[in-house]
Amino acid sequence: MLASQRASDPRRGSGRRGAAARLAPAALAALAALAPAARADAPGRVVSMNLCTDQLAMLIADEGQLHSVSHVALDPRASAMADEAARHTINHGRAEEVYLMQPDLVVTSTLSARHSTAMLRRLGIPVITLAPANSLKDVHDRILEMGAALGQTDRARAIAAAFDEDLARLRATAAARPSAVLYYANGYTLGDQTLAGQILLAAGFSNAASAAGYKSGTRMPLEVLAMTVPDTVITSSRYPGASRAEDIMDHPVVQTLRRTTTAATIADHDWLCGTPHVLRAIEKLVHTRRALQGDGP
């Protein structure tokens, strides 16, 4: 288990310092030393409008620097930092409400809130958009990009280095790789050219969806899933309430391939965004792979 996970009790800290303490063991001493290292021209009032930039900003921003995060960051099913998000003002991605917050900087994703960010730019508000992470290298890069945007470059470098260290410790190098398919609602799967696919590879699995020609994200019919004959199928956690889209995960084909004694169910909050929290997803899959191979915990 990572030292960062052993320190995951939210009562151990609050705000950015509490989040950083749960991040990665190598970063702890460095973060304490780097507290005054922000640029003199660092933005003093920052608003984030996207779930993934919310979490990066909460990890990296100085105390009081991050004013607002998106409402999605409050949802523990999607956000790995819902408790931290509750300590900030919440926005709903509307240009009018963000403008009235008088931010020095708005950060968001290239895939969201395009109309709002365009309007904010016309109103003279600086906006930085970060691309989503499609690989584990992208996670490292996005940490540094957020650090540069917030004027917290030294702190971001320490967090990125800690992420790299923990990733190297978790990354599997075994030659024998059981095959797995990520299978979500509506039969959606993800290949190697996605962040989730890279998480799967880092944990020591081969991606049977990629072998079947599914390199990115798309729908995989049940017939194709059955023909790939993976060693296991990894499904996503269910959301409350009935959903016909999720019924496919109860299909006998899926349940047979899941091998319920070793199958994993992934938590969206550790997989959705390119943040150091993906390390928890990798660690869980490492345990799944070892159980599947009979290697023990």
Q: Where are the alpha helices (DSSP H) in 24-125?
A: 28-33, 51-60, 82-85, 95-100, 114-122
225-268, pLDDT tens digit by residue?
888 888 888 887 766 655 777 777 778 887 777 765 566 777 88
The count of residues in the chain is: 297
What's the pLDDT band for 1 if we cut at 50, 70, 90? very low
Average pLDDT for residues 60-83, to the nearest whole number? Answer: 96
pLDDT for the residue 294: 78
Pairing of strands 105-109, 46-48: parallel
Pairing of strands 232-236, 179-183: parallel
Question: In the CATH hierarchy, which top-level class contains the domain 3-168?
Answer: alpha beta
Widest distance between CA atoms in the chain: 60
CA distance 79 to 158: 23
- What's the pTM? 0.82
Average pLDDT for residues 62-77, to the nearest whole number? Answer: 96
CA distance 33 to 235: 41
pLDDT for the residue 234: 87
pLDDT for the residue 240: 64
Tell me which architecture the domain covering 179-293 has in CATH.
3-Layer(aba) Sandwich (3.40)
Give helix then strand counts, H and E, for the chain.
15, 11
- Say if residues 50 and 116 touch (Cβ distance below 8 Å): no
Strand pairing partners for 234? 182
Whether the predicted pLDDT of 293 surpasses 90: no
pLDDT for the residue 268: 86
CA distance 89 to 281: 28
Residue from 56, 149, 49 nearest 98 by CA: 49
Domain with CATH 3.40.50.1980 in the chain: 3-168, 179-293
What's the pLDDT band for 18 if we cut at 50, 70, 90? very low
Mean pLDDT, the chain, rounded, equals 84
- Please name the residue that has the structure tokens 């799944």: 288
pLDDT for the residue 19: 45
- Say if residues 85 and 73 touch (Cβ distance below 8 Å): yes
- The angle formed by the CA atoms of residues 174, 172 and 228, to the nearest 5 degrees, is 75
Average pLDDT for residues 12-41, to the nearest whole number? Answer: 45
